[in-house]
Structure 1
Amino acid sequence: MDLEFDQQHVWHPYTSTLNPLPCYPVESAEGVYLKLEDGREIIDGMSSWWSTIHGYNHPELNQAAKNQLDKMSHVMFGGITHQPAVELCRKLVDMTPEPLQHVFLADSGSVAVEVSLKMALQYWHAKGERRPKFLTVKHGYHGDTFAAMSVTDPNNSMHSLYKGFLPEHIFAQSPECPFNGEWNEDDVLDFKHKLEANHSEIAAVIIEPIVQGAGGMRIYHPTFLKRVRELCDQYGILLIADEIATGFGRTGKLFACEHAEISPDIMCIGKALTGGYMTLSATLATKHVADTVCSGEAGCFMHGPTFMGNPLACAVANASLELLQKGHWHQQVADIEKQLAESLPEIGKLEKVKDVRWLGAIGVVELHEPVNMAEIQKAFVDNGVWIRPFGTLVYIMPPFIIKPQELSRLTLAILRTLQ
């Protein structure tokens, strides 16, 4: 591979063209391993940004892609339908909370969020109201496209430099009560006050259920989410659950909303939907929301991505969901969580570590100071693992199929590197 060309011309995510971070050339991948060009094999602790839950080069997912490729890789979804999309939507309706009955397929997680926000705005437009604001909580992250950025924390995120260009929404204090801690009703007071004061101009609340992802990897008490649902019901506000990072078993429940036993009005899913094979997302809505949106002036929902319902991606997603439906993920994630509970507290004793936390197949080590990305990345690769921290957070979200000894290598690499 021509790494010099890569460094000079290929613009990688969150990387400077003036001083690009080193990139490690991957030749192939199998199970939980990435094989580098130089022959080294490293354990992927990131599931390729949280998506490759079944591991790489999975025979059933491979076969689903090959079978579909022989039929058609893509066809427009406007005025045309096809079996992979119909089957996928049936599976999603069956596995998500019962009120969610309509599925809008899209390209990526960020687009699913854009779709959810547009749905909420068009919902109120159809009801004859103009509600331009969204309420969310600080330390949230919902994607890199413009509307998704606007509901991502503008001060504590990678999007702070766009402040002033984006629509300004309402941000309540993020929950402080930890997942397994004691619930304090004061935790929801700021959210409650902001909803009370602004409810007549709020189209929807958007929130990451239970786990805030790239905005801080914070894991909060289920009662907070329960109170959010109650307050949305009280004021007649739509609730959007961004399950892109948490959906499909990552937190120990199929969807994180299940921890609080609530159902949103709109749900965004992505990342693990195709088992990390292809880009695909979906936004699900209740019948009430969908029918109200379509009862307005436009007579339909005004959105339609070119690759909406891509047959190849839908076919792989169906195979991925069939693997989940076999149920092995539940024990796999429980085993990962148990092992993280045993190993992370030891890392938490290090002087430079501020906090350690875990839930399901998520393990987080929060440091007092931000990492030097180039240095820590090299140290991890030299230790035979792929872990990509950001800021003060060193975290792992391994594939569900990871073996105990492989997970031990991930946590040991974190311990050694931070020592």
Structure 2
Amino acid sequence: MKNASELLEFDAGHLWHPYAALRNTPARFLARSAQGTTIETADGLKLIDAVSSWWCVAHGHNCPEIVEAIRKQSEKMCHVMFGGFTHEPAIELGERLVKFLPKGLNKIFYADSGSISVECAAKMAVQYQFAKGHPEKCKLVALKGGYHGDTAGAMALSDPDGMHTLFRGIMPQHYFAERPNCRADEPWDDRDFASMEQVVAEHEGEIAAIICEPVFQGGNGMWLYNAGYLKRLRKLCDEKGILLIFDEIAAGFYRTGPRWGMEHAWGTPGAAGKDCANSGEDCAAVLPDIMTIGKALTGGHMTMAACVASEMVADVITNSKISAFMHGPTYMANPLACAAAIASLDLFENRDYASRVAAIEKRLRANLEPLRNLENAADVRVLGAIGCLELKAIPTSDDILRVIKETGVWLRPFCNYVYTMPPLITSESEVDRICEAIKMIGQCEPGPVSDDEFHE
């Protein structure tokens, strides 16, 4: 067996890591195991995973219930193509999701990843408009500051001035409105919707759908905005015959407080839970026509996502000349992933995550709000189990690495954002440790930005 040094040497010479150079960017840590909120490295360092391994490990690492579900399924069938076959895990997961999702969103397309589910949502919207006799409606409107994934179609819907500008030549061209500036904790200001109204007015005849991340823009700025924007979007889409897509990949599964980010527009955030999700009229006015889910769907144990459509969207496509929805991933409805997702839904339904997230939010606010007084602080933002310290300038990667080792907290700042999105099982004392690490990074002297994995 190779030792840690040999493994890291091969890694550095041959393996690309996310948003990182191949050369001169060694992996900072060699993970040996992970349990609960903690990742343990080969040299014995134990790190609290303050970012849920990119926001997906909601129930903690190596969750016994999910691991056991995968093990049991592996004894029966690891994979079978979904073209021409179906299987019990896919059907059971579908039955569970129909009950778990907001009322009326019940036509499910299983996808490999969040990015692919966004690709499916965009294609579904265009195929819907084609079936309605509007082939010219093949563009989407997205928000500046948004992030929807790294595949070409998803990149094209992400911030046009963000991390993907290099690839503009291969992206479809869509339209963008200014991001909502009205913050989540401020009164709604209807002037914040003017940019979207203008874009739609100018291009109405070309627009198939509008897509947004409800209340929480993630990977391009960690921005939290007022849910009143979602109400105005729904009204505008209804008036113009445009579909509305909510990308709940990051905001869903209690990350912002309630089960879905969209619930902040339902009148009583956090109150929807099990009851309103399938019954109340309060939510009916602010439902999307298509939504995407992923990340926490399997609790971060297997890659899986879904694109979910309303009955209206599905019926129009199904009853058209081209009735087949033209997409089909190889690993669509992978049985192991379906088993993991079923076990994950069990936990979401049986644990009071709304209360747990409320406790995390309270602790984040208490710890992070005072950081506004730091000399290098530009802003502090908190919602649910999301906390972000925006800095005027980012410290060096060496300083960030030092803080990680000193505190035992794994943080991965990007651009000038030091953020946390911890597992939903994170204790109050662990939240305190995370916030102390964020504070220490905020107190570091700014330095030159290096081209390594800490600066995505």
Q: Which one of the candidate residues 148, 171, 184 is aligned to 2:189? A: 184
5+ long unaligned stretches in structure 1: none
Q: Does the CA-based 8 Å contact 1:178-1:219 persist in structure 2?
A: yes
Counterpart residue number, 1:344? 368
TM-score by length of 1: 0.98
- How far apart are residue 165 of structure 1 and its match? 3.0
Deviations 1:238-273 (A, max 9, x none): 001000001111000101011112210000000000
Tell me the residue number matched to 2:325.
301
Pick one of 391, 398, 404 that aligns with 2:428: 404
Conservation of the 8 A alpha-carbon contact between 1:371 and 1:390: no
State yes or no: 1:138 paired with 2:144.
yes
Cα offset for 1:117? 0.5
Could you give the per-residue CA deviations for residues 301-339 of structure 1, whole angstroms, max 9, x where no partner exists? 011111100010000100000000013211110100010
Shift of 1:145: 0.1
Query: Mapping of 1:172-321 within 5 angstroms?
Result: 172-261=177-266, 262-321=286-345
Residue 149 (structure 1) aligned with residue 173 (structure 2): no
SS at match of 2:325: coil
In 1, are the aligned partners of 2:62 and 2:301 still within 8 Å (CA)? no
- Corresponding position of 2:438: 414
CA-based RMSD of the aligned residues comes to 1.2
CA distance in 2, matches of 1:255, 1:388: 25
Secondary structure in structure 1 of the residue aligned to 2:33: strand
Partner AA of 2:299 in structure 1 = G
What's the CA shift for 1:349? 1.2
Comparing 193-202 with 384-393, greater Cα deviation is found at 193-202
Amino acid of the structure 2 residue aligned with 1:154: P
CA gap 1:3/1:253 in 2 versus in 1, 3 angstroms: same
Q: Tell me which of 146, 157, 170 is aligned to 2:175.
A: 170
1:343-385 per-position Cα deviation (integer Å, ceiling 9, x unaligned): 0012221010100010000001101124433541342233211
Q: How far apart are the structure 2 equivalents of 1:274 and 1:414?
A: 28
* SS in structure 1 at match of 2:170: coil
CA distance in 2, matches of 1:151, 1:374: 34
Q: Displacement of 1:104 after TM fit?
A: 0.3
| Residues in 2 aligned to 1:212 and 1:51: alpha-carbon distance in whole angstroms | 16
After alignment, is 85-94 or 238-247 more displaced? Answer: 85-94
Shift of 1:180: 1.1
1:56 equivalent in structure 2:
61
Alignment match, 1:388: 412
- Confirm or deny: 8 A CA contact 1:21 1:374 kept in the other structure: no
Give the counterpart letter for 2:151 in structure 1.
T
Q: Which moved more, 1:371-380 or 1:60-69?
A: 371-380
CA distance, structure 2, for counterparts of residue 327 and residue 408 of structure 1? 22
Percent of aligned pairs with the same amino acid: 47
Partner of 2:283: none
Counterpart Cα distance in 1 of 2:394 and 2:325:
43
> In 2, distance between residues paired with 1:345 and 1:392?
17
Counterparts of 2:325 and 2:293, CA distance in 1? 19
Is contact 1:110-1:145 (8 Å) kept?
Answer: yes
Q: Are the equivalent residues in 2 in contact too, given 1:341–1:358 (CA < 8 A)?
A: yes
Secondary structure in 2 aligned to 1:357? strand
Letter of the structure 2 residue corresponding to residue 148 of structure 1: A
CA distance, structure 1, for counterparts of residue 428 and residue 106 of structure 2: 39
Amino acid at match of 1:331: S
Tell me how far 1:90 sits from its aligned partner.
1.3
For 1:309, what is the secondary structure of its paired residue? coil
Moved over 4 A (4+): none
- Partner Cα separation in structure 2 for residue 190 and residue 69 of structure 1: 51
- C-alpha distance in 2 between matches for 1:119 and 1:80: 22
Per the normalisation by structure 2, the TM-score is 0.90
Aligned partner of 1:80 in structure 2 is 85
Give, in whole Å, the separation in 2 of the partners of 1:373 and 1:116.
Answer: 37
Larger deviation, residues 269-278 vs 61-70: 61-70
* CA distance, structure 1, for counterparts of residue 296 and residue 402 of structure 2: 27
SS of corresponding position for 1:163:
helix
- Per-residue deviation at 1:97? 1.4
Please state whether the residue corresponding to 1:283 is helix, strand or coil.
Answer: strand
Q: Who is 1:6 aligned against?
A: 11
Q: Any conservation in 2 of the 1:377–1:387 contact (CA below 8 Å)?
A: no
Letter in 1 for 2:149: G
Give 1:91 deviation, angstroms. 1.4
1:323 to 347, 352, 360: 347
Specify the SS of the correspondent of 1:355: strand
**CA–CA distance in structure 1, aligned partners of residues 98 and 336 of structure 2:** 20
Is the 2:253–2:259 Cα contact (8 Å) retained in structure 1? yes
Partners in 2 of 1:18 and 1:297 — Cα distance? 51
> For the residues of structure 2 that align with 1:417 and 1:221, how far apart are their CA atoms?
28
| Deviation larger for 180-189 or 368-377 | 368-377
**Which residue of structure 1 lines up, in the alignment, with residue 396 of structure 2?**
372
* Alpha-carbon distance between aligned partners in 2 of 1:255 and 1:98, rounded to the nearest angstrom: 12
Unaligned runs of 5+ in 2: 267-285, 444-456
SS of alignment partner, residue 176 of structure 2: strand
SS of the aligned residue for 1:13 comes to coil
For residue 45 of structure 2, what is the aligned residue in structure 1? 40
